[in-house]
């Protein structure tokens, strides 16, 4: 979708230079991120939740689109690595002053930034920035339009590996608004890379990309079929703006067909885990007893997300 | 008002687990907070205004209602304790996305938060959160609806003790909009607990709670009577939205009857102190010569507020 | 313009107490700031971009007018000096609550602030604050109305000295909306103090102050004349609100007459440098090939700006 994204994020030596997308990200790098994250999980459980790896580095959370939750996860990750964090909500600021995206970035770079965490409503914004920063400055895509949200995809891989150990025999279903979801795209590429043999997307035809099968997934419009026998059921967030739009009859209707209830979940394996990137619309994508139930790993996803972001930041920001 | 608030904030061993309200807070705990705060006053006077007590802790200022001033006092207190502070203005964020209050909190908790400082427009919000967090996670109520603002109440106790030494022979008057004031409620409970024998509330009938006397206070509608012979005169802030409402004729009329002028203050003891939680409406609750006069301890309240918040945070956040 | 500004910012011993304006700032202090800044440039190039000079100090960025970019430069500078930084956007906060400017400042001061960085839409706001803070508390003017923006003026001096070494034989032209520009005012005073012999302002009569010549500058309305033979061409930002106002026909017309193109720049010396305080309106004040060209030092200005702000903060905040 974004040409050249894959090549920009890897250096010529094959090391990670930026994290822009899980598309084309080699399995060994994905696994190295997950392994590094394993080492960071205990840091957040200590009395002193800090390691000095990025001390004195300047990390800019540059959010052209507001997202308190995502910004917070990166801010915590950076602070636990001892970096200096600067939060910028650009929506109402420089772009309002007519400055271009690249001028904004060049300016921040001139302040000797080490890393940019970028959220933008337009697909490709983080790639554009990555192609223009100096050597030694890293860019992390914290969500760009409908394109990618790679740290979310990676924390989901971490979560699946944590509970299922091995990707090579898994059935995974991604349910809901796949069409508009950068999270789904980032999950699909990573799951394929890690060798998941049975990957399914489930949703109404209006919310499944026309070319879904080219991504190597099986498409289901019937949820009971779609999650039958799965090891992992990933529910997507339904954006509010879709709920009363042309693509959907209503939130209630959606819940009836695609909301995850205990009854529907019974079709998956008994030890299937339930995931959701948050924030949840209870009663729309997911029924509360399931969201809070014994199969839900939704809150562990958040916890692992900090460790995964620490891993990515430390890999991008450390000299060696 | 909020059932069970008192018991939630104390552990079974009687130690402070959360700070939600001064109602039912035992005198020994109030005094221990004040004594601990005494030790923190000098920290803010040093060249290096920092102690490492909460180093590596993650403290979340979760403000569902905007209050730059209050947020700032907690942020400074946390930073002087060397904690990592994350500010979240949730008003425009997750709740807008339809997430429930508890989902928001569970999410932040999953990021391994150690402490939440919560401000919310609804009475009982901090209690609700405190009842649902994990052991080891502490909640401080930074103001919930009309219910409580306990750190404000405690810093007021610190200020009174600083100037008057002993609570056991004091006359204290609280003047103004008692009905809508969480500050007044927090003061009244603390003053009763500390044994103030003569506690009065002063204001128009429309701004005094109907059940005021059940709280153990004497009600005055005439200000000159109400503050006569007092050691401490506490002025409350009049919310803008009351000034032209049904409860009050006008700000000017209010000032004439209940605004603290030098002339009215002359009815109190000559060494009476004047307090106000800020921000002041000069010329509405209080006349400028009094606000800036020799009896005013309004700015010392702010200074002591940092020490009191450091005390509460260190008591809640330190292991032993 | 602001009476007494110059005297407020210097102590009786001649040392810098506040930084409010470059007007009347003695050459030896300007040069000492520039020399100090030289020592901070390498700090931002290190792996660990931090020095412990202001550790444990509380610096408040008090922005009554939003400016993400300027706030960011001060925040980074303070963090690289190891200070604790508190950001306050007051626009929507206390002043909305009817509190006066000085009450806001007294409150923050009572929290044991060490330094205020103040941005305000009204000329003289920083001076007012400086006249009222306690000894030991420093104020930096980060832009007040049309009056002054001294750190911008000083970073421009640093930039000019960096590229031109010596001020004593320079021709400098300041081009554009001089009338409304606090940046231009701060530059003019500093350039005169440093002995620039040939200082010119260039713009349409509607955007040049009537008393410009009293400031010791030559006025040009023809740009080709105005920048002829110059060593330094400083372009000013044209505020959006001027572009379609009564003072200007249109942005396109302005660009034709006063926008810096390669063709116009050819009138200046071949090694002339081009400066702009940012954010740029490309195609209004400046043509992109010039903004990004070999003579442009616009991004080095930003880099040096961090070092200059670190220098000012360290001089104001260190005991010595």
B177-207: pLDDT as tens digits: 999 999 999 999 999 999 999 999 999 999 9
Say what the pLDDT of residue A95 is.
53
Q: Which residues partner with B116 through β-bridges?
A: B60, B139
C-alpha separations of A109 from A129, B152, C51 in Å: 11, 42, 20
In this structure, are strands A198-202 and B84-89 parallel, antiparallel, or unpaired?
Answer: unpaired
Nearest to C49 among A56, A107, A110 (CB): A56
* Chain A residues within 8 A of B98 when measuring between CB atoms: 240, 279, 281
Q: Chain C neighbours among B 252-281 (CB < 8 Å)?
A: 278-281
Which segment of A150-154, B211-215, C166-170 scores lowest on mean pLDDT?
B211-215
Q: Which two tokens stand for residue A41?
A: 């999980």
d(CA A9, CA A148): 13
Other chains touching B, judged by 3 or more CB pairs under 8 Å: A, C
What is the tens place of the pLDDT at every residue in A244-267? 677 777 889 999 999 999 999 999
For residue B78, give the chain C residue with the closest CA. C84
> Band of the pLDDT at A7, cuts 50, 70, 90?
confident
d(CA A242, CA A265): 24
Which one of C85, C278, C301 would you mutate to disrupt binding with A, by most A Cβ within 10 Å of its Cβ?
Answer: C278
Q: Chain B neighbours among A 123-152 (CB < 8 Å)?
A: none
How far out from the chain centre does Cα A210 lie? 22
What is the tens place of the pLDDT at every residue in C79-99? 999 999 999 988 755 454 567
What is the tens place of the pLDDT at every residue in B85-140? 999 988 755 454 567 899 999 999 999 999 999 999 999 999 999 999 999 999 99
CB proximity C318 to B under 8 Å: no
CB proximity C66 to A under 8 Å: yes
Which one of A52, A54, A58 would you mutate to disrupt binding with C, by most C Cβ within 10 Å of its Cβ?
Answer: A58
* Chain A residues within 8 A of B99 when measuring between CB atoms: 278-280
Nearest CA-CA distance, residue A46 and chain B, Å: 9
Say what the pLDDT of residue B4 is.
53
Nearest CA-CA distance, residue C318 and chain B, Å: 9
pTM of the model: 0.95
Say whether A68 and B84 touch across the interface (CB within 8 A): no
Say what the pLDDT of residue B7 is.
79
**Residues C195 and C222 sit within 8 Å (Cβ to Cβ):** no
What's the average model confidence in pLDDT over B272-299? Answer: 97
Say whether A68 and B57 touch across the interface (CB within 8 A): no
* Chain B residues within 8 A of A299 when measuring between CB atoms: 106-107, 109-110
Say what the pLDDT of residue A1 is.
47
CB proximity B45 to C under 8 Å: yes
Say whether B299 and C110 touch across the interface (CB within 8 A): yes
Is the pLDDT reported for residue A94 higher than 60?
A: no
Terminal-to-terminal C-alpha distance of chain A = 32
CB proximity B288 to C under 8 Å: no
d(CA A197, CA C139): 64
Which one of A107, A108, A133, A319 would you mutate to disrupt binding with C, by most C Cβ within 10 Å of its Cβ?
Answer: A107
Say whether B97 and A50 touch across the interface (CB within 8 A): no
Of B46, B84, B50, B29, give the one whose Cα is nearest residue B310: B50
Say whether A88 and C73 touch across the interface (CB within 8 A): no
Which stretches of chain C drop beneath a pLDDT of 70?
A: 1-6, 92-98, 243-244, 319-320
Nearest to C279 among A94, A109, A111 (CB): A94
Say what the pLDDT of residue C319 is.
59
Say what the pLDDT of residue B1 is.
47
CB proximity C296 to A under 8 Å: no
d(CA A29, CA C3): 63
Quote the percentage of chain B above a pLDDT of 70: 94
Residues sharing a CB contact under 8 Å with residue C108, sequence separation 6 or more, in sequence order: B72, C60, C62, C88, C116
* Chain C residues within 8 A of A94 when measuring between CB atoms: 68-69, 279
Instruction: Compute, in degrees rounded to 10, the torsion defined by CA atoms C176, C181, C185, C186.
Output: -110
* Chain B residues within 8 A of C319 when measuring between CB atoms: 47
CB proximity C91 to B under 8 Å: no
Say what the pLDDT of residue A3 is.
54
* Chain C residues within 8 A of B240 when measuring between CB atoms: 97-98
Nearest to C72 among A88, A92, A319 (CB): A88
In this structure, are strands B273-275 and B198-202 parallel, antiparallel, or unpaired?
Answer: unpaired
For residue B299, give the chain C residue with the closest CA. C110
Residues sharing a CB contact under 8 Å with residue C109, sequence separation 6 or more, in sequence order: B299, C133, C134, C137
For residue A284, give the chain B residue with the closest CA. B98
ipTM of the complex: 0.93
For residue A71, give the chain B residue with the closest CA. B88
Residues sharing a CB contact under 8 Å with residue B261, sequence separation 6 or more, in sequence order: B287, B289, B290
ω before B218 within 30° of 0 (cis)? no
Query: What is the SS3 assignment for A245?
Result: coil
What is the tens place of the pLDDT at every residue in A194-233? 999 999 999 999 999 999 999 999 999 999 999 999 999 9
Say whether B50 and C58 touch across the interface (CB within 8 A): no
Nearest to A103 among C47, C240, C280 (CB): C280
Which one of A278, A285, A292, A301 would you mutate to disrupt binding with B, by most B Cβ within 10 Å of its Cβ?
Answer: A278
> Band of the pLDDT at B318, cuts 50, 70, 90?
confident
How far out from the chain centre does Cα B172 lie? 16
* Chain C residues within 8 A of B76 when measuring between CB atoms: 58, 84, 86, 111
> Band of the pLDDT at B273, cuts 50, 70, 90?
very high
Say whether A72 and B84 touch across the interface (CB within 8 A): no
How far out from the chain centre does Cα A242 lie? 20
């Amino acid at each position: 979708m974004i040409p050249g994204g894959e090549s920009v994020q890897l250096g010529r030596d094959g090391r990670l230079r930026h994290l822009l997308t899980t598309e084309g990200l080699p399995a060994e790098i994905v696994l190295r991120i997950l392994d590094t994250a394993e080492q960071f999980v205990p840091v957040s459980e200590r009395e002193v939740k800090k390691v000095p790896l990025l001390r004195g580095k300047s990390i800019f959370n540059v959010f052209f689109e507001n997202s308190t939750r995502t910004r917070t996860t990166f801010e915590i990750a950076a602070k636990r690595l001892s970096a200096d964090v600067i939060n910028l909500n650009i929506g109402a600021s420089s772009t309002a002053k007519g400055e271009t995206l690249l001028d904004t970035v060049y300016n921040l770079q001139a302040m000797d930034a080490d890393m940019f965490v970028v959220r933008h409503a337009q697909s490709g914004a983080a790639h554009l920035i990555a192609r223009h920063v100096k050597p030694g400055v890293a860019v992390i895509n914290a969500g760009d339009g409908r394109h990618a949200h790679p740290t979310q995809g990676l924390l989901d891989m971490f979560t699946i590996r944590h509970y299922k150990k091995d990707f090579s025999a898994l059935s995974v279903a991604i349910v809901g608004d796949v069409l508009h979801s950068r999270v789904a795209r980032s999950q699909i590429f990573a799951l394929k890379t890690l060798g998941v043999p049975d990957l399914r997307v489930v949703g109404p035809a209006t919310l499944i990309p026309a070319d879904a099968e080219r991504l190597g997934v099986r498409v289901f419009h019937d949820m009971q079929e779609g999650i039958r026998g799965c090891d992992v059921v990933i529910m997507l967030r339904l954006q509010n703006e879709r709920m009363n739009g042309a693509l959907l009859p209503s939130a209630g209707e959606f819940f009836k067909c695609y909301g995850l209830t205990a009854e529907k979940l019974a079709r998956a394996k008994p030890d299937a885990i339930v995931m959701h990137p948050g924030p949840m619309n209870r009663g729309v994508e997911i029924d509360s007893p399931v969201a809070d139930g014994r199969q839900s790993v939704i809150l562990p996803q958040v916890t692992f997300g900090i460790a995964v972001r620490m891993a990515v930041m430390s890999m991008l920001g450390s000299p060696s």
